[in-house]
Amino acid sequence: MLYRTSGQFKTTYRSDQALFPIRQDAFLLGIILLFAWVILPASASSFAFQTLLIPVLIYALAATGLNVLTGYAGQLSLGTGAFMGVGAYACYKLITLFPELNLIVAVLLSGLFSAGAGVLFGLPSLRIKGFYLAIATLAAQFFLVWLFEKWGWLYNYNASGAIQVPNVSMFGIWVAGPQATDRAQYFFVLALVTVLTMVTINLTRGNLGRSWKAVRDMDIAAELIGINLLKAKLQAFAVSSYLVGVAGALFVFFWRGAAEPNLFNIDLSFRVLFIAIIGGLGSVLGNWLGAILIVALPVVLNTAPHWVGLDISSSTVEHVNVMIVGALIVFFLIVEPHGLARLWALIREKLIHWPFPY
Amino acid sequence: MEGLKAVLVDPFADMVAAPDFLLQVLWEGLVSGVLYALIALGFVLIFRSSRIFNFAQGIMVVFAALTLVGLHSAGLPAWIAFAGTLLVMFLLAVVIERVVLRPLVGQPDIILFMATIGVTLFLVGGGELIFGGENKVMISDALGMPSGAFEFAPWGGFLLLEARDVTVVVGAVAMVVALLAFLGFSKMGRAIRALGDDHTAALSVGISLSTIWVLVWFLAGIIALMTGIAWGSRAGVSFALQVIALKALPVLMLGGLESITGAIVGGLMIGILEKVFEIYWGQPLLGGSTEAWFAYVLALLVLLFRPQGLFGEKIIERV
C-alpha cells in the first residue's frame, strides 16, 4: 500500500538505473533530509548534538570510507583509526600553519594527506590478500599512532603531546574550537557529510565502483576482463582513506575539540569496522544505520536503568554495556550477516506487497 | 655518513662491546617470544580446523588467568582452582560453539572474525563485572613455581635469568611437545588434523564437526590458561594483557596462518628481534617504544616476499 510501485513505468534504461527508480524512496529521503536540516537542529538540545547527532554523522562518514575499501573493493582494513588520525593531524597543522585558510578547504585538503598514507600502505595489497592484508593496515595503525606521539612537529611541540583545536571562524561565525556553538558545528559537519556521501554513492554506481566490485568478487577474473588491479585497488585505498581522513578531521575539530594519539588507537578502528559490518558491507545506507545503532546504544543503555528506577553504580553499567554491545554484535551477525541494510531491503520488499502475501 | 654509521655500525659495535648484555637482551626477547608463540598457537589450532580467525584468544588468556586467581582468592587450594578454571574454559568452549559458531557455519571469514570480536567484548565486560578491573597478582607461589634467579658470568660480565622465566620456557616447551604428540598420535588429534586438511572429506568419514570445534576451543582455552599463568607471573593479571593478542597477529602472519611450526618460529623470531631492535636501534635513534609497531612492519616486509608467510600453505589461485 504505502510502497506501491504500480503505475511507475520505466521507458528507458537510463530511468530504470536512476538513483531512485521508485518515487517513495525519494520521498522518504526527502523527509529524512528535512529532519536532518530543519527539524532536528531546531529542536535538539546541546546534549543531543554532542552525544548523538554530530557523532552519528562523523562515524557514518568514516564507515562510508571504510566500506568503500572493505565492502566495495573487498580489502580488509584494520587501520581506520590511524587514517582518521592522519586527517586530524593534517588539518591541525594546516590550520595552525595557515590561520587565514578557510576551514572547509583545510578539512578537504587534510583528506588528501590521509589518502596518500592510504595508498602507501595499500601498495602491498597487490601481493598480499585476505587476512594477510590485515597486517599491512595493522602496521599502519600502530606505526602511525607511534608517529603521532613521537613526531613533535605534528602537535607543535606542546608539552601535553595533544592537539587542541583553536577557535576558527567562517563568515563571522565561530565554527570550531571552544567558542563555536553546537548548531554551527552540526551544520558544518552535516553539509560536508551530505556532499561527500552523495559523491560516494555516485562513485560506487559508476565505472569506478563497478571495477571495485569486480575486484572484490574475484580479482583474477577481474584482471582477465581488463581491469587494472593495481589501479583499482589503489583507487579504492585512496578514496577510502580520503573519506576516512576527512571524517578524522571532523572528529577532532567538530566533536572532540582536542585529541591525543591514543584516541586513534585500534579500538576506534574496530568501532568503525563494527559500524560498517553491522550496517552492511557494500551498502551506503548501512553505514548510517550502523552508526545510529553503535552511537545510540550506549546512550540508551546508560539512561535505561534510570527510567526503570534501578540504581546501579556507573561502573557496573559500563561493564554491562560492553557485554551487551558484544552480545548484540553476535546477535546481529547471526540474524542477518549482511547487515541492517539487508534487513531494510527485506522490509521494503514486504512493504511493496503489503497487505497481500505475494 | 654520520647517520649511516649510527644505523649500520654503532649498534653492532655496542653488541660486541658488551656481549653479556646482548645475551640478557636475547633472553628477555626469547621469553616474550615464547609467550607470543603460545598465543599464536591457540590461534592456529582454531584457524586450521575451522578457518575462524579467533580474535578472542587474547581475552581468553585474561579470562582464564582471572578465573584462576578469583577461584584461589575465594579460598580454594591452587590445584582445585586450576581444575576449576579448566572446567570453566571447557564450558566456555561449549557455549561459544553452541551459541556463536554453529549458527554462523558457512558465513564469510570476515563475519566469523567479527563474531569473535563480539565474543571478546562480551568477555571483557563480563570479566570486569565479575572480577573487577584492577591489576591482580598471579598465584605463582601457590602453584609451585620457583622464585629466585640464576646468575651467570659469561665473559666476565653479568647475566641474570629469573627462575620464573626459566619455568615458563620449560613449561611452554613441554606443553608444545604434549600438544604435538596429541595431534600426531591420538585419534582425536588425527581428527583435528583431518578437518584442517579437508573439511568435506573429514565430514564424510564420520568426524563430528561440533565435537572437534568444542575440543579445539577447549585446547585453545588450556593454552590460554597456560599463557595467562606464564604472563601473569611476570606482569600481573590485568586487562592490559589483551594487547598481546594483537601481537599474536603478526606472529601468525609471519609464520603462516595454518602452520604450528610457523607460530612457534614466528613467535620466537618476533620476540627476539623486536627486543634487539628496540634496545640497539629504537631507543638511541627513534625515541623508543618501537615495540608497538616493529612486529607488524617486520611481518609486512616478510609477507611482501612470501605472501603466505614463512611456513604457510602455498596459495593456489584459480578462476
Residue B305 has a pLDDT of: 84
So where are chain A's domains? Answer: 47-353
Residue B62 has a pLDDT of: 87
CA B140-B141-B143 angle, to 5 degrees, is 65
Residue A81 has a pLDDT of: 92
Residue B57 has a pLDDT of: 85
State yes or no: cis peptide before B77, omega within 30 of 0. Answer: no
b/e string for A321-339 if b means 16 or more Cβ within 10 A? bbbbbbbbbbbbbbeebbb
Phi, psi for residue B151 in degrees, rounded to 5: -115, 140
Q: Report, as ranges of residue numbers, the positions in chain B whose pLDDT lies below 50.
A: none
b/e string for B32-56 if b means 16 or more Cβ within 10 A? bbbbbbbbbbbbbbbbbbbebbbbb
Nearest to B102 by CA among A130, A342, A330: A330
Mutation to test the B interface, candidates A334, A340, A342, most B Cβ within 10 Å: A334
User: Distance between terminal CA atoms of chain B?
Assistant: 51
- CA A118 to mean position of chain CA atoms: 16
Residue A311 has a pLDDT of: 65
Contacts of B63 (CB under 8 A, 6+ apart): B92, B123, B126, B127, B224
Contacts of A202 (CB under 8 A, 6+ apart): none
Interface of A with B in 224-263 (CB under 8 A): 224
Of B114, B250, B286, which is closest to A329 when you measure between CB atoms?
A: B114
The bridge status of strand A173-176 relative to strand A258-259 is: unpaired
Residue A310 has a pLDDT of: 67
Residues from chain A that touch B121, judged by Cβ atoms under 8 A, are 322-323, 325-326, 329
Whole-number Å distance between alpha carbons of A229 and A207 = 14
Whole-number Å distance between alpha carbons of B128 and B242 = 13
Residue B168 has a pLDDT of: 83
Whole-number Å distance between alpha carbons of A358 and B36 = 57
- Taking the CA of residue B104 and the nearest CA in chain A, the distance in Å comes to 6
Q: What architecture does CATH give domain B2-305?
A: Orthogonal Bundle (1.10)
Q: Judging by beta carbons within 10 Å of its beta carbon (0-12, 13-18, 19+), is residue B117 exposed, middle or buried? A: buried
Whole-number Å distance between alpha carbons of A236 and A139 = 19
- Distance of CA B145 to CAs A92, B64, B69, B157, Å? 52, 18, 15, 28
Average pLDDT by consecutive 10-residue portion of chain A (358 residues)? 75 81 82 85 81 90 92 88 93 88 89 93 83 83 88 80 80 76 86 92 90 89 90 93 94 86 87 88 89 87 73 75 85 84 86 78
So where are chain B's domains? Answer: 2-305
Residue A195 has a pLDDT of: 93
Residue A309 has a pLDDT of: 67
Q: What is the dihedral of CA A303, A305, A309, A312, to 10 degrees?
A: -120
Residue B280 has a pLDDT of: 83
Interface of B with A in 241-270 (CB under 8 A): 246, 249-250, 253, 257
Residue A86 has a pLDDT of: 94
Residues from chain B that touch A326, judged by Cβ atoms under 8 A, are 117-125
CA atoms within 13 A on the CB side of B2: 1
Whole-number Å distance between alpha carbons of A272 and A141 = 13
What kind of fold does domain A47-353 have according to CATH? ABC transporter involved in vitamin B12 uptake, BtuC (1.10.3470)
Q: How many CB pairs under 8 A join A and B?
A: 135
Residue A91 has a pLDDT of: 92
- Distance of CA B279 to CAs A271, B214, B272, Å? 34, 42, 11
- Cβ contact (<8 Å) for B319 and A322? no
